[in-house]
Structure 1
Amino acid sequence: MASGTYRQEARELIDTIDDEVANALLKGALDLHVHSGPSTMPRQVDHFQATEEAAAAGMRALLFKDHHYSVAPFIPIMDRVLGHLGVAMYSGLVLNNTVGGLNPFVVDAQLKMGAKLIWMPTAQSANHIRSSHGKTRLASNVKLKPAPGITVIDAYGNLLDEVKEILDLIAGSDAILSSGHLHVSEIWTLFEEAKKRGVKRLLINHPMYGLHFTYDDIAGLADLGALVEQSACLYIDSRFNVFSPQELKEHILAAGVERSSIGSDLGQVDNPTPVEGMRQAIKLCLALGFTEDEVRLMVRDNPARLVGLPVE
């Protein structure tokens, strides 16, 4: 079925839910997957605009992600200017080549500057490069220097020593570890070692998109303690839509509502804004039969626990 058909199906379901119901659930929600700018990629909102829009919707927190730099060192400045809006702001570091790859020294410095989350490689992971076959939705405005694909395991399937060191740094800071765009086989090795080394906060982003997960993998890694985040942009009225509404339900249920969350994964041009994406995702979940309490768990309570905020 074409993505355009999925978008139409999503629109029709979204339109069955009243705005007031969705807006009430948006209050207190967290979006831990915001792609605002500046960036090497086209963005429709910057970090300040994303925060202002979230505040207007009554949201509790945002986490900014860029594939090629960390917003974390700028959070204190943003908090000085926008702190009165009452939106908690976080960021972290994606371990692509553009920030030094699997470099413990960079990770150490970023964690000490307040990074809340360390993502394994995304656009420059070996899995992403293989899976995209030269085509990617992570296109930049500028041509970046070609970069080799990064893997976290050696030729024998063992985790690299530098990755183990990074895991120790994450554990020591009680930060969040995200699997990035690694292959699911790498993620199992990574997360099992992370647990042994004391990493308590594990996050998987869009498991069924480009990471080669099965439903059993989702369930198994959720049982290991990972929070499984579904990207709203892949299911709603977005140009990135590749899944049907029913697949959203199946993907959530594979992990269980108690181990699931929703992030917008938005901020790109010609797409809904992050806040609108979250609103549409809330409506779509309700239309699919999830209760208000279940939606609240996925957009408010579970992500709050992940970043260490008290559940209100």
Structure 2
Amino acid sequence: MTNSPLAAGRGPYDLQGAIDLHVHTAPCLFARLGDDIETARLCAGAGLRAIAIKSHHESTVSRARLSSQAVPGIDVVGGITLNWTVGGVNPYAVEAALLTGGRIVWGPSGHAAYHGEIMGGLGSWGRPGMAMPGSPDAGVQVTDETGQLTSAARNVLDLIGDHDAVFATSHLGPHEILAVLAYAKPRGIKVLVNHVFYLPRVDEEFLGKVVAAGGLIEIVSGVMLVPKLQKDLDYTYSRLVATIQRFGAESFILASDGGSVDLALWPYEQLRMFARLLLNAGLKEPELDLTLRTNPARLIGLPV
């Protein structure tokens, strides 16, 4: 027997209509629990309405389209991540991804300059089996030495706006994120700030700046499954609930950042756990519905 999507306090949380905009699948440079189609099938079976597949090394637009055709009942979204493996902040690669149906452009991840600062090296996550190929001399950035957006970054954001797509900040640094938001807000370009408190390492005051600049904020379940990160970042359910309620659920999206073999749980399992424990920690049912269904649907252009 399943519960209402808003039912609390009894049984597993019902994910019907939920959307996960941060899922990792094989083929990948790192070990993943399943490939695109297997992951889509399991998420569809759990009731998810849509998922977005992120790759650190290539566009997932074609992979997402084929997965949507192979798995009825779920919208699989693709995009491109601006690491050196696609040329960094490369407007040509971005335009091709958007013209073929991409809906999300992620900033650089393992090759981001900020990632290198936090993780102690470009292309490395400090965990066995997680290292990107190549030894780049410099990290990818969207700002120049003056702190202004580069012309390539402005071109990428303009393309995203033209296609009503989304720019997700991935592993950009705080100053880069604020520069992106300052450019995006007057132009109506949608921006999602990924896995806050992890990358970028920021406090709640920074989130206030994101909200004021019109950005949406992503909170991911994957950080909860790494005990050292959870402890070091004070990434507790009570803190996350307080943060969401301080700035308003209309400014947040929940996602899994799931698919890693190390984290063991499938993305939909992570999301189900995350939703239930956030409710237990005091998140209200309508707030959860906004962060898990309504906000992500609006972001990628699905009917609400």
- Tell me the TM-score normalized by structure 1: 0.87
Higher helix share: 1
- Match of 2:178, SS state, is helix
- 2:284 counterpart residue number: 291
1:211-244 Cα deviation digits (max 9, x unpaired):
1322121122112221111011112587864422
1:173-197 Cα deviation digits (max 9, x unpaired):
0100111211111110111112234
| Aligned 1:229-244 pairs, distance under 5 A | 229-235=218-224, 241-242=230-231, 243-244=235-236
Identity of aligned residues (%): 32
CA gap 1:163/1:141 in 2 versus in 1, 3 angstroms: closer
| Aligned 1:109-124 pairs, distance under 5 A | 109-124=96-111
Distance 1:53 1:283 in 2: 19
Q: Does 1:103 align with 2:106?
A: no
Unaligned runs of at least 5 residues, structure 1: 1-15
Distance 1:161 1:32 in 2: 28
CA contact under 8 A between 1:218 and 1:254: conserved in structure 2? no
- 1:266 counterpart residue number: 258
Higher relative contact order (CA 8 A, sep 6+): 1
Q: Residue 149 of structure 2 is aligned with which of 155, 159, 163?
A: 159
CA contact under 8 A between 1:44 and 1:267: conserved in structure 2? yes
Unaligned runs of at least 5 residues, structure 2: 1-7
1:136-166 Cα deviation digits (max 9, x unpaired):
1576567611122111111111110111111
1:78-135 Cα deviation digits (max 9, x unpaired):
22222x2x10110111100011101111111111011100111111110000111135
Distance 2:135 2:142 in 1: 19
Q: Residue 217 of structure 2 is aligned with which of 228, 240, 265?
A: 228
- 2:3 counterpart residue number: none
Distance 1:211 1:171 in 2: 23
Distance 2:298 2:78 in 1: 16
1:223-273 Cα deviation digits (max 9, x unpaired):
222111101111258786442222222332343211111000010003211
Distance 1:74 1:143 in 2: 20
Q: Could you tell me how far 1:49 is from its partner in structure 2?
A: 1.2
Number of matched residues?
290
CA gap 1:137/1:306 in 2 versus in 1, 3 angstroms: farther
| Aligned 1:122-133 pairs, distance under 5 A | 122-133=109-120
Distance 1:212 1:257 in 2: 21
- 1:9 counterpart residue number: none
Look up the equivalent residue of 1:43 and give its one-letter code: R
CA gap 1:237/1:77 in 2 versus in 1, 3 angstroms: same
Look up the equivalent residue of 2:255 and give its one-letter code: G
- 1:217 counterpart residue number: 206
CA contact under 8 A between 2:79 and 2:104: conserved in structure 1? yes
| Aligned 1:24-35 pairs, distance under 5 A | 26-35=15-24
CA contact under 8 A between 2:110 and 2:132: conserved in structure 1? no
CA gap 1:71/1:216 in 2 versus in 1, 3 angstroms: same
